[in-house]
Amino acid sequence: MSPWNEVLSQGLLRDPADPAPYDGAGWSERWIAGALLTGRKPFGRFTLPLEEAQAWCTRARRVGLEYHRERIDGNALHITAGREETYGELFELDALVACYRDVLPPEAAETAAWALLSHRKESPANHTFAGVDAFAELPRALRGLTLGYPPLATARRILLETGGDGEIEFPDVPLDPGQPETAPEDDVPFCDHDHPVPRFDNHDDLVKACEPLTDLVSYYWQLDRELSAFAPRITGVYLADYPESLIAAFEAHERAASTDRYPRADAVYSHLCCVLRHLGREPADLLRGVRPPSRRAPGPGPRDRLPRRRTGS
């Protein structure tokens, strides 16, 4: 339920010549393994070399993951893993149901609603010991949520399966990342957004606008074990073609402890906000998903217009 999921999907569809963090055997397996440990993905399957997989298992129990492992060819483990928390604890299910009812045909929306709400008290870890065929029989809405796909992608897939067409506007309802450290207000760069959204009339203009942001994105990629080797490849062209990396870096910056933030953020934060707004992603709305209430910008955003998750549901 994170922009990094879209970075993964870019890798799956990439041209091998693209300068992106997808070189080497097993990049997608390691991406899934890392996303499970950090909470970016609630359930997944992957295969790692034996020693690396055993180290992963040691970490998994500490972060609330159930897993099943199967030895392959004597030198690798295939692992299926899922979060122990219930769907009701991990996700804002009422908000998701309301959105599905807004964007899908009535019958499809009610099927999706039943799939989500009837599993509120169950856990993604329940699927850890189920076979692939059994998992494939789950309703599409529950499979998408379990695998960590963005709700927009799942809604579009449901619409296609029902014979519908057209675009769907669907707000982000992310996996709860927990409460980040509350930094003093003067530690957080500021952009008041009180100016027109900039326009970049062509791709070359967008590339030029992205170039000042390459160091910021590279900085946060270097903090991610699987992305760090590719951080030097970040360019304005890459960011213009794959803007999800900008969104993910923006959110990583807001979640980071004050001592771990990009040290030159003051110089580029306002510019990053403007580029995001040009791309149709309002920073003030993104902040509502990552800041505690004391640091959230005022004014309504998509999450404020949706039903809130009930504690203990």
**% of the chain at pLDDT higher than 70:** 72
pLDDT band at 102 (very low <50, low <70, confident <90, very high): confident
Q: What average pLDDT score do residues 267-282 get?
A: 85
Q: What is the 3-state secondary structure (H, E, C) of the chain?
A: CCHHHHHHHHHHCCCCCCCCCCCCCCHHHHHHHHHHHHCCCCEEEEEEEHHHHHHHHHHHHHCCEEEEEEEECCCEEEEEEEECCCHHHHCCHHHHHHHHHHHCCHHHHHHHHHHHHCCCCCCHHHHCCCCHHHHHCCCHHHHHHHHCCCHHHHHHHHHHHCCCCCCCCCCCCCCCCCCCCCCCHHHCCCCCCCCCCCCCCCHHHHHHHHHHHHHHHHHHHHCCCCCHHHHHHCCHHHHHHCCHHHHHHHHHHHHCCHHHCCCCHHHHHHHHHHHHHHCCCCHHHHHCCCCCHHHCCCCCCHHHHCCCCCCCC
pLDDT in tens, 113-143: 999 999 999 999 999 988 888 888 889 999 9
Q: Could you tell me the two tokens for 31?
A: 């991406």
**% of the chain at pLDDT higher than 90:** 19
Q: What average pLDDT score do residues 208-224 get?
A: 88
pLDDT band at 9 (very low <50, low <70, confident <90, very high): low
Strand order in the sheet with 76-83: 43-49, 76-83, 65-72
Residue whose entry in the numeric block shows the structure tokens 């309301």 = 98
| CA–CA gap between residue 1 and residue 18 (Å, rounded) | 25
Please choose, from the candidates 88, 85, 145, 40, the residue with its C-alpha nearest in 3D space to the C-alpha of residue 309. 88
pLDDT in tens, 51-93: 889 989 988 888 889 999 999 888 899 999 999 999 999 888 9
The pLDDT value recorded for residue 187 is 52
Q: Could you tell me the two tokens for 68?
A: 């099943």
Given a cut of 60, whether residue 269 has pLDDT beyond it is yes
The pLDDT value recorded for residue 119 is 93
pLDDT in tens, 10-55: 666 667 666 566 666 677 788 888 888 878 789 999 999 998 899 8
The pLDDT value recorded for residue 172 is 43
The pLDDT value recorded for residue 81 is 94
The pLDDT value recorded for residue 312 is 34
Q: How many CA atoms lie within 13 A of 212 on its CB side?
A: 15
Cβ–Cβ under 8 Å, residues 284 and 303: no
Cβ–Cβ under 8 Å, residues 209 and 200: yes
Q: What average pLDDT score do residues 162-190 get?
A: 48
The pLDDT value recorded for residue 142 is 92
> Average per-residue pLDDT in the chain?
76
